[in-house]
Amino acid sequence: MRLAVVASHPVQYQAPWYRALSARVDLRVFFAHRLRPSEQAEAGFGVPFEWDVPVLDGYDYVWLENRAARPGVGHFRGCDTPGIGAALARERFDAVVVNGWQLLSYWQAARAARRAGVAAMVRGDSQLATPRSVVRRSAKRVVYPRLLKAFDAFLAVGQRNEAYYRHYGVPASRIFRSPHCVDNAFFARTAGAARAQSGGARAAFGLPPDALVFLFAGRLVDGKRPLDFLAALDAVRRTDPAAVGLVAGDGPLRPAMEAHAAAHGTSCVMAGFLNQRQIPSAYAASDALVLPSIDETWGLVVNEAMATGLPAIVSDAVGCAPDLVGDGATGHRFPQGDVSALADRMRCVARAPARGKAMRQAALERISGYSPEAAAEGVVAAMEQVSINPW
């Protein structure tokens, strides 16, 4: 079977999925935009960079001509690639996958697939809990059931994403599970090497060897609530002084976090942005990941952490919560924005070290089902069963 994937740009999380797909089908990925290092900084990472792992190896790809007046991946018209139509018509694919519908390129691909008589499939991670105004929610209830008829199959990355499709009238027969994933083997292997280093993983960050380390990993932006992490850490330390924080990330809120730490005497190491080959060391140095986001459609940082055997404490707004974070099993959940509840969940980890060991094993077992191979299998199942008949 021949499959085309239309993507905005190379993404470190998607490359392992493409490689797994290439082992199952004849794959070609069409990229709409070449992202500059400065654009990564503008997206909230705080520093310009390129990923330090291969994002273009192991699969066939093509760069489309982006004719956008203002190229970028952050707004609808930032990716305008009319050439996708000729490419899909010329190469006789069996199906086309678009990675969402927030860019013009994705709709150009969906329309071209329809004209060519090729099944159009979509894979995204939208969920109903994402904050939206009443007006926007009302408009979507009217418009989305019609818009989604442009696609023949829906590749759901998790439970909330599947519920989203059903909410807008997508028949169950057209929904296939293709779970969100990272390269589990890479993170497990790299974190294991960091733990085996002389002095342990904590020495590199200047962390006490006997500390209880809570990790925040991500962009330092409002939606991820890194200041909630610091406030909860302060509360935990009043009863459990061995608790310390490690922040792996950068962004516009870094000065505010440093000011908070200075004013409150917060015991927290600010490690800055860590690229893919560096971040496993932070997981290896930590006892639990904390993700307090109030706007997180999935939270792939949880996949990364669990692949290294780390339990996660996440807000109920984090999209992966029902899939990955079994409360008290692979981590803990708390109501978004409730710093006191977050502190309570962190104390649960602090006061039950034996339970923490069991959660580590449970995290490894849970994440094994969220692999690039499982994501590829969902796509193959959809290709074998999907109908291009109207629904």
Residue 391, domain member (yes or no): no
CATH code: domain of residue 238: 3.40.50.2000
Q: How far apart are CA 305 and CA 284, in angstroms?
A: 9
Going by C-alpha positions, the residue among 391, 96, 332, 362 that lies closest to residue 214 is 332
User: Looking at the structure, do residues 79 and 218 belong to the same domain, yes or no?
Assistant: no
Chain centre to alpha carbon of residue 154: 18
Q: What pTM did the predictor assign?
A: 0.94
Residue 390, domain member (yes or no): no
User: Looking at the structure, do residues 254 and 176 belong to the same domain, yes or no?
Assistant: no
User: Looking at the structure, do residues 260 and 295 belong to the same domain, yes or no?
Assistant: yes
Residue 208, CA distances (Å) to 234, 243, 247, 253, 292 in order: 17, 10, 15, 26, 24
Count: domains in the chain: 2
User: Looking at the structure, do residues 201 and 149 belong to the same domain, yes or no?
Assistant: no
Residues whose CB falls within 8 Å of the CB of residue 111, separated by 6 or more in sequence, listed in order: 85, 150
User: Looking at the structure, do residues 314 and 354 belong to the same domain, yes or no?
Assistant: yes
User: Looking at the structure, do residues 90 and 200 belong to the same domain, yes or no?
Assistant: no
pLDDT tens, N- to C-terminus, the chain (391 residues): 999 999 999 999 999 999 999 999 999 999 999 998 888 878 778 888 899 999 999 999 999 999 999 999 999 999 999 999 999 999 989 999 999 999 999 999 999 999 999 999 999 999 998 877 888 888 888 888 999 999 999 999 999 999 999 999 999 999 999 999 999 999 999 999 999 987 789 999 999 999 999 999 999 999 999 999 999 999 999 999 999 999 999 999 999 999 999 999 999 999 999 999 999 999 999 999 999 999 999 999 999 999 999 999 999 999 999 999 988 899 999 999 999 999 999 999 888 777 778 899 999 999 999 999 999 999 999 999 987 877 7
For residue 51, what are its two tokens? Answer: 């990923």
Q: What kind and span of H or E run contains 331? A: strand 331-334
User: Looking at the structure, do residues 177 and 209 belong to the same domain, yes or no?
Assistant: no
Q: How far apart are CA 219 and CA 45, in angstroms?
A: 5
| Identity at 366, one-letter amino acid code | R
Tell me the residue range of the domain where 243 lies: 184-367
For residue 153, what are its two tokens? Answer: 């199959």
For residue 92, what are its two tokens? Answer: 């006789």
User: Looking at the structure, do residues 93 and 223 belong to the same domain, yes or no?
Assistant: no
213 bridge partner residues: 244
Three-state DSSP class for residue 248 = strand
User: Looking at the structure, do residues 196 and 69 belong to the same domain, yes or no?
Assistant: no
User: Looking at the structure, do residues 95 and 196 belong to the same domain, yes or no?
Assistant: no
97 bridge partner residues: 5, 121
124 bridge partner residues: 156
